[in-house]
Amino acid sequence: DAGVTQSPTHLIKTRGQQVTLRCSPKSGHDTVSWYQQALGQGPQFIFQYYEEEERQRGNFPDRFSGHQFPNYSSELNVNALLLGDSALYLCASSLAGESSGNTIYFGEGSWLTVV
Amino acid sequence: AQKVTQAQTEISVVEKEDVTLDCVYETRDTTYYLFWYKQPPSGELVFLIRRNSFDEQNEISGRYSWNFQKSTSSFNFTITASQVVDSAVYFCALSEANGYALNFGKGTSLLVTP
């Protein structure tokens, strides 16, 4: 049973560029969330996708956008990269419809460095 | 607004010692869920436990145990007879009843030395 998979694992971008990160949820899961984790901090919620729509969004600018595909996989796009966007980006998957607080599984993340 | 506080930034213990990681939370919701995750250097967050606000029973899983006290808004995590493999960053998190966003604390870095 495949867990949450993310790609790429590491990447380096230049300020002003755009980046796309990808996530495949755990088998059987239909909901994908994205988190940003700066060094030495806890993960911060970016947004969540369910049924190909953004269901909830955290306090992140519009430069951060996402997409969910019919197979439940998801992409996180960040435009006009800033140095402060350097972080570990974590994808989490879960199954909607269970009692609230269903177990949420995380991938190993994508390490983004902006130079 | 929800908030999770993990006051201990770093803890260092010698193998076989018991260690408790503190977690204090704030929420106006009557229904909510509390989580603990372990993050090894690889970066992946490993799920340890989920507890809902209506279940205050303590839980034990092997060397791990959790103490949930609504009266003090705390959800503390104890590792008994710690091992080197327990070295990691541990995060406490809180979510609304609808199970959407997780609000994480800043984490506690645990170092267990031989």
Distances, alpha carbon A78 to alpha carbons A7, A21, A46, A47, B34, in Å? 15, 9, 11, 13, 30
What's the pLDDT score for residue B99? 58
> B48, B21, B24: which is closest to B111 by C-alpha?
B21
Query: Which residues in chain A are closer than 8 Å to B55, comparing Cβ atoms?
Result: none
Closest CA to A92 of A56, A62, A39, A41: A56
Residue A104: the pLDDT is 86
pLDDT digits (tens, 9 = 90+) for B17-29: 999 999 999 999 8
Over residues B78-100, the pLDDT tens digits come to: 999 999 999 999 999 999 866 57
**Interchain pair A100, B37: CB under 8 A:** no
| Cα A72 to Cα B78: distance, rounded to the nearest angstrom | 36
Going residue by residue through chain A (115 aa), what tens digit of pLDDT does each one get?
569 999 999 999 999 999 999 999 999 889 999 999 999 999 999 999 999 999 989 999 999 999 999 999 999 999 999 999 999 999 999 887 655 456 788 999 999 999 9
- Region B103-107: mean pLDDT is 96
Q: What is the pLDDT of residue A100?
A: 44
Residue A2's pLDDT is 67
Separation between Cα atoms, residue A90 and residue A44, nearest integer Å: 9
Give the pLDDT confidence score for residue B1 in this predicted structure.
77
Put simply, the answer to whether A103 touches B31 (Cβ < 8 Å) is no
Q: How close is the nearest chain B Cα to the Cα of A95, in Å? A: 10
Cβ contact B106–A42 (<8 Å): yes
Look at A100 and B97 and tell me if their CB atoms are within 8 Å. yes
Burial class of residue B35 (count of CB atoms within 10 Å of its CB; 0-12, 13-18, 19+): buried
Question: In Å, how far is A23's CA from the nearest CA of chain B?
Answer: 13
| HEC readout, chain A | CCCCEEECCEEEECCCCCEEEEEECCCCCCEEEEEEECCCCCCEEEEEEECCEEEEECCCCCCEEEEECCCCCEEEEECCCCHHHCEEEEEEEECCCCCCCCCCEECCCEEEEEC
List, for residues B45-78, the tens digit of each pLDDT value. Answer: 999 998 888 888 888 889 999 999 999 999 999 9
